[in-house]
Structure 1
Amino acid sequence: MTRHTAPSAPGDALSAALAAEYAAIYAYGPIGVRLTDADRRSARAAEAAHRSRRDALVLQLSTGGGQLPADQAGYALPFPVTDRASALRLAVQVEERTAAFWRAVLPVTTGADRTRALNALTDCAVRATRWRNTAGVTPVTVPFPGRPT
């Protein structure tokens, strides 16, 4: 899960957001394994949301002539996920990172693409806030979701 540079074209930005969605989906596997009950259900719901967004982007980019990045067989996680605390910490990072990619889509898009990007950014920010709250992290919100820290 590496940092990115801000793309300058809508297709490039959407392709980068798709790659971030792929990585988010992958990360929720190790996250979910370390959670139980309601937290595990939340992880499944988050993964499903990322899968839905991925599917919509794949369809949009493949029919619109945009560049479709390949999904990787695996992704490097920023740290080992060995318990509930590390799973929750990774969930927060996944949502913050994915939000950053969607935030980068905003200045290079208009219309429906910009609306989709804003909705995705908002969804990620809300999930990150929920994960912070579940983990007992304060503050639970950040002033500018998707901004690199």
Structure 2
Amino acid sequence: MKPEPSPAGRALEAAQAALAAEHAAAYGYGVIGARAGAARATEAREAFGGHLARRDALSRTVRELGGSPRPSEAAYALPFTVRTPADAERLAAEIEDRVAGAYSDLVRSAEGPLRREAADALSAAAVRAARWRGVGVAFPGLAERSERARTS
């Protein structure tokens, strides 16, 4: 039987997962920036910068929690081919949904200031997803609930 991780271990695991989501988001926004229409290019650049800042902050957090930050992958598989500005917008919304999910897990696992930072990041990702999608979803960060809300 595998022992249950300690609260600090769960927070570290969730912080590593959020860091991985931020690495993937930064990669994805490179693709989005190349395909976004002129009207949304500034928004894509700002989101890219925000994800880089959160990535750097999470690297520090992982170290503070006693871990070693996992590095970024060389490349990430995209969920679909991005050819048009509409594809770029759809990818941005999906990336933000995934980031929100990772921060939702960190909110559940963390305490104190880290929980507050994770909640702020979850909120920011949900707002960006709503902007890219044109509509918000119920329960951002909870994939099973937000997916049902989008399809109903």
CA distance in 1, matches of 2:11, 2:65: 12
CA root-mean-square deviation? 1.5
Note if 1:58 corresponds to 2:59: yes
Q: What is the CA-CA distance between 1:145 and the residue it aligns to?
A: 0.3
Give the distance between the partners of 1:83 and 1:113, measured in 2 at CA. Answer: 37
Alignment of 1:100-115 (within 5 A): 100-115=101-116
Q: In structure 2, what is the equivalent of residue 142 of structure 1?
A: 137
Q: Which amino acid aligns with 1:107?
A: R
Aligned residues: 137
Query: 1:132: how far off?
Result: 1.1
Cα contact 2:12–2:65 (8 A) shared by 1: no
State how far apart, in whole Å, the 2-side matches of 1:147 and 1:61 are: 23
**Which structure 1 segments of 5+ residues have no match?**
1-7, 134-139
Note the C-alpha offset of 1:107.
1.3
Larger radius of gyration, structure 1 or 2? 2
The alpha-carbon deviation at position 64 of structure 1 amounts to: 3.6
**Runs (4+) off by over 3 Å:** none
Percent identity of paired positions between Structure 1 and Structure 2: 43
- Paired residues of 1:13 and 1:104 also in contact (CA < 8 A): yes
**Higher helix share goes to which structure?**
2
Determine whether 1:37 maps to 2:54.
no
In the other structure, the counterpart of 1:77 is 78
Counterpart of 2:125 in structure 1 is 124
Report the alpha carbon displacement of residue 66 of structure 1 after superposing the two structures with TM.
1.9
